[in-house]
Chain A
């Protein structure tokens, strides 16, 4: 378990939706290459429609890229790899007819975890996200923040080496985001998981990431990578430090033009068919 080895190798990935000439043709991603180190938290940030989520789906094997390859732990990605990669989505992906505990358990059923281990793992991950007392609740009975904690617990219980998170806190209010961000940082300092985290929020990226990959406007490619040199777990007062502000400003500078370009091109700031 040597830090410094490459967990995810992305080479020349580009992706388009639809055929050339179709009304809905979209070039989402353009020639993206990146190495993600084991144990690091990498944030993908960029304007709407720049292909961050597309890249995440390609890395996770949910989508085959038009060109390029992805290797995860030296294996070529050809489909979902549930033993190595777990997802946390923005949308509520918990099954509403199951309790929180049953949801976490079901993830392990899908992955193929033997029955004897499931209960212990479920309890551990629920405790880790602070939902121990809500295990028997249904998602419909929980707040948005708690639902995302449950989704995270489900992903954690799969004990994968890689966690892919697609704007997991995007639907939540700012205060919940702050708390969840802090808790995530604490959680991650205890594990050696490799995390790829897509976000729109500059503050969130700066607070959580070891590196931030800034995307250009569509068709997106990595414009620049910013390093955040601060050990995990990050304290709440990191947010008010000058280092934080400097990094955040740098991100803002890089992004601002891209965002303007996106709005000018599409006429709308909202997401297109792919993000």
Chain B
């Protein structure tokens, strides 16, 4: 429905407030570092940060760390997705199994699994393996839980109707269960992906030798605050791109 004039005015006003907010923030930032003598070790000059940012992009300095992080992410998500969907599907096949395992998984997922990072580091070392293992562990649960929900709670009416028309097990799976469960499973995958990304950056920050999270820590320890800010912006940027891609894929997959 096309919005009324008043609504359009309202929306414009909101946008104006948001833009003003952003501008004021940046202006304050600039003033703080140039006029008000805030230590560059706490708050770097935004222009310096910008220079560092372009420098990082230009020299391609980010590539090594980005590759490490993305590889870890891809591996962790791949493991979590395949195992999560498989396990989720197997559990969803029986009400009993659902009632046994679903609360178990939900319970485990509710505690901050990042707590086990030291264990994983002890076991797998400081290299990518520990990040992948932890990322896969954390990412497994939302995917498995959503797969259980997706397959397990398909409207009985559909199943009954298909069976009454003579559908075989395979046909039932392909033409009824899969399409019915897909939106929920895709949601679970999106959540799993986001969670994997967060856990990997987090574990790189805490205990790692490489990767984007580690790079930020390294710069912080070296007191190169401006460059650290630049990397933070970079990582946030990458995260946004990844999350947008995943959301788009999810929406695509959900379109019936």
Contacts and interface: CB of A to CB of B under 8 A. Distances in A.
Contacts of A236: none
B2 A23 contact: yes
Contacts of A23: 1-2, 4
A19 interface: yes
Interface string B1-15: 110110000000000
B3 to A, nearest CB: 8
Interface in B154-194: none
Contacts of B5: 19, 22
Interface in B1-38: 1-2, 4-5
A274 to B, nearest CB: 14
Nearest to B4: A22
Contacts of A19: 4-5
A23 B2 CA distance: 6
A19 B3 CA distance: 12
A24 interface: yes
Q: From DSSP, what is the main secondary structure of chain B's interface residues? A: loop
A270 to B, nearest CB: 16
Contacts of A22: 4-5
Contacts of B4: 18-19, 22-24
A18 B5 CA distance: 9
Interface residues of B, number: 4
Contacts of A18: 4
Contacts of B1: 23-24
A124 B129 CA distance: 74
A19 B2 CA distance: 13
A90 B4 CA distance: 28
B148 to A, nearest CB: 29
Interface string A17-59: 0110011100000000000000000000000000000000000
Interface string A141-178: 00000000000000000000000000000000000000
A31 B4 CA distance: 25
B10 to A, nearest CB: 14
A194 to B, nearest CB: 36
Nearest to A24: B4
A18 B4 CA distance: 8
Interface in B123-170: none
A23 B5 CA distance: 10
A60 B111 CA distance: 54
B2 to A, nearest CB: 4
A22 B5 CA distance: 8
A24 B4 CA distance: 7
Nearest to A23: B2
A24 B7 CA distance: 12
A22 B4 CA distance: 6
A23 to B, nearest CB: 4
Interface in B196-216: none
Nearest to A17: B4
Nearest to A25: B4
A22 B1 CA distance: 11
Contacts of B2: 23-24
Nearest to A19: B5
Nearest to A21: B5
B128 to A, nearest CB: 52
11 contacts: A18-B4, A19-B4, A19-B5, A22-B4, A22-B5, A23-B1, A23-B2, A23-B4, A24-B1, A24-B2, A24-B4
Given A19-B4, A24-B1, 9 more contacts: A18-B4, A19-B5, A22-B4, A22-B5, A23-B1, A23-B2, A23-B4, A24-B2, A24-B4
The 9 closest A-B pairs by CB, nearest first: A23-B2, A22-B4, A18-B4, A24-B4, A23-B1, A24-B1, A19-B5, A22-B5, A19-B4
Interface of B: 1-2, 4-5
